[in-house]
């Protein structure tokens, strides 16, 4: 029964419907504020000014929160309209690069430009199909060494008990002999933190 209804959930796009409900609530709030501003414009100009300022500031904050995940993939802020904005943000370049990749390249100089357009087209297609999460995964894999160094630094900073510090220090020789250490060179300040932690432990 669970598998039967799970297939129906996928077929009828319940995830989109669930995501659309908060968007409709936000849309109703914006329509309410628009109606309030129109009402106050006709009734009382003194109150209209401050209310208009607050509505504009709130709308600007909402727009910023909506577009933050598009430009900074590690943003923890997300609005219901962020997925619609993401779809628009990725579809327009995808259509452009798909049209440019459709034009065949006859010259050697333009061949590499054509290949670049094909790569960009495929990237935006993956982003359309995978959503913001796919872009965040790609950004994470591109910055893996930086993130790994930050994880090691956070781990060293968080170690307070002797048992945890001992396990961490026991793992250091294995870490430096692994493939991960060959790929990622730890920054000097992280190495100094490890040395200080080892000195305190000893």
For position 56, what pLDDT does the model report? 93
Structure tokens at 81: 């309209």
Nearest of 94, 85, 169 to residue 124 by alpha carbon: 94
pLDDT of the chain, 202 residues: tens digit per residue:
888 888 888 888 787 778 778 888 888 999 999 999 999 988 888 888 899 999 999 999 999 998 888 888 788 888 888 878 888 888 888 888 888 777 766 665 667 777 778 888 888 888 787 777 777 787 777 777 777 778 777 887 777 777 777 787 777 777 666 665 555 567 778 778 777 777 777 7
CB within 8 Å of 185: residues ≥ 6 apart: 145
For position 64, what pLDDT does the model report? 92
Cα 193 from Cα 26, distance rounded (Å): 47
For position 182, what pLDDT does the model report? 56
CB-CB neighbours of 108 under 10 Å? 7
For position 36, what pLDDT does the model report? 92
For position 108, what pLDDT does the model report? 59
For position 178, what pLDDT does the model report? 65
Domain ranges of the chain: 2-71, 84-136, 144-201
Residue 78 · residue 69 · CB < 8 Å: yes
For position 21, what pLDDT does the model report? 83
Q: Is the pTM of this model over 0.75?
A: no
Residue with tokens 């930050």: 150
CB-CB neighbours of 101 under 10 Å? 18
The separation between the first and the last C-alpha atoms of the chain, rounded to the nearest angstrom, is 59
Residue 89 · residue 127 · CB < 8 Å: no
Query: DSSP H helical segments within 12-159, as ranges?
Result: 14-43, 45-71, 82-102, 108-142, 144-158
């Amino acid at each position: 029964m669970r598998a039967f209804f799970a297939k129906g959930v996928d077929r009828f796009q319940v995830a989109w419907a669930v995501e659309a409900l908060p968007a409709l609530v936000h849309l109703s709030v914006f329509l309410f504020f628009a109606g309030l501003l129109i009402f106050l414009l006709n009734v009382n100009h003194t109150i209209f000014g401050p209310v208009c300022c607050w509505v504009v500031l709130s709308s600007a904050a909402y727009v910023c929160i909506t577009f933050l995940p598009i430009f900074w993939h590690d943003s923890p802020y997300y609005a219901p309209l962020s997925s619609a904005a993401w779809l628009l943000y990725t579809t327009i370049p995808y259509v452009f690069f798909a049209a440019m990749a459709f034009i065949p390249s006859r010259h050697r100089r333009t061949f590499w430009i054509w290949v670049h357009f094909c790569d960009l087209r495929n990237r935006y297609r993956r982003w359309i199909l995978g959503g913001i999460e796919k872009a965040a995964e790609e950004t994470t894999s591109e910055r893996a060494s930086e993130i790994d160094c930050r994880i090691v630094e956070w781990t060293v900073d968080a170690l307070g008990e002797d048992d945890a510090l001992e396990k961490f220090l026991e793992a250091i020789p294995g870490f430096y002999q692994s493939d991960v250490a060959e790929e990622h060179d730890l920054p000097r300040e992280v190495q100094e933190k490890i040395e200080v932690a080892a000195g305190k432990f000893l």
